Amino acid sequence: MKTVNLIATSLIAALPLAALAESPVDPKLYEAAYSEDGRYYTDDDVPTFNIQEDGTVDWLTFSGFRRYHAECHVCHGPDGEGSTYAPAVKNSSISLGYDGFFEVVVNGRKNGNSVMPHFGDNRNVMCYLDDIYVYLKARGLDVLPRGRPAKKEAKSDIIREDEDACMG
């Protein structure tokens, strides 16, 4: 009976991501409407990616790749694709939205036997949470291929100052 309940719980938990996979999301909804000091935002002021036609990514997307692979891929697999240990998270920034993504990473979450630990006190995550978010958003929309981005914009002075202030 526990096996059946575990399978049912897993299927129910996977429904939003499965529905997302079945109903493609238009990447244009997440395109940058404006930029500010090397950061890009949607019309509703949510951080987003900017990928140029030649494949050059904005600094936060590049940094998000680096930070994701330093802190998150051990459980969630390379490029947000999932592993035998933890689910794929490349769609989490889309399905959860910015606030939901932030909430789960900061406070963690427990879903049956599945536990996402909290990272609210980890500067290596919190100082780069927007970076990780925009990287996973680009991956989830399939506008960024797997692997390290080959070209990146330069880090702006403001981003550098904010990073230094956050890291202490």
pLDDT single digits (tens) 3-24: 333 333 333 344 344 434 444 6
pLDDT for res 24: 64
**Number of residues assigned to the chain:** 168
- Strands 109-111 and 34-36, how do they pair? unpaired
Q: Which DSSP category does 20 fall into?
A: H
In this prediction the pTM is 0.83
Phi, psi of 92 (to 5 degrees): -60, -35
> Alpha helix (H) ranges present in 57-96?
59-71, 73-76, 92-95
Cα(79)–Cα(140) distance, integer angstroms: 10
Query: CA 66 to CA 62: how far, in whole Å?
Result: 7
User: Among all chains, which residue has been given the structure tokens 């109903």?
Assistant: 23
Token output for 154:
């330069």
Q: Which SS3 state, helix, strand or coil, does residue 40 take?
A: strand
Tell me the percentage of the chain whose pLDDT exceeds 90.
71
Q: What are phi and psi of 34, to 5 degrees?
A: -160, 165
- Are 166 and 50 a contacting pair, CB within 8 Å? no
93-119: average pLDDT? 92
Which two tokens mark 17?
């991501």
Question: Is a pLDDT exceeding 70 seen at residue 141?
Answer: yes
Sign of CA dihedral 106, 110, 111, 115: positive
Distance CA 48, CA 143 (A): 12
15-19, 110-114, 163-167 — most confident range: 163-167
Question: Taking the C-alpha atoms of 137, 143, 146 and 148 in order, what is their torsion angle to the nearest 10 degrees?
Answer: -80
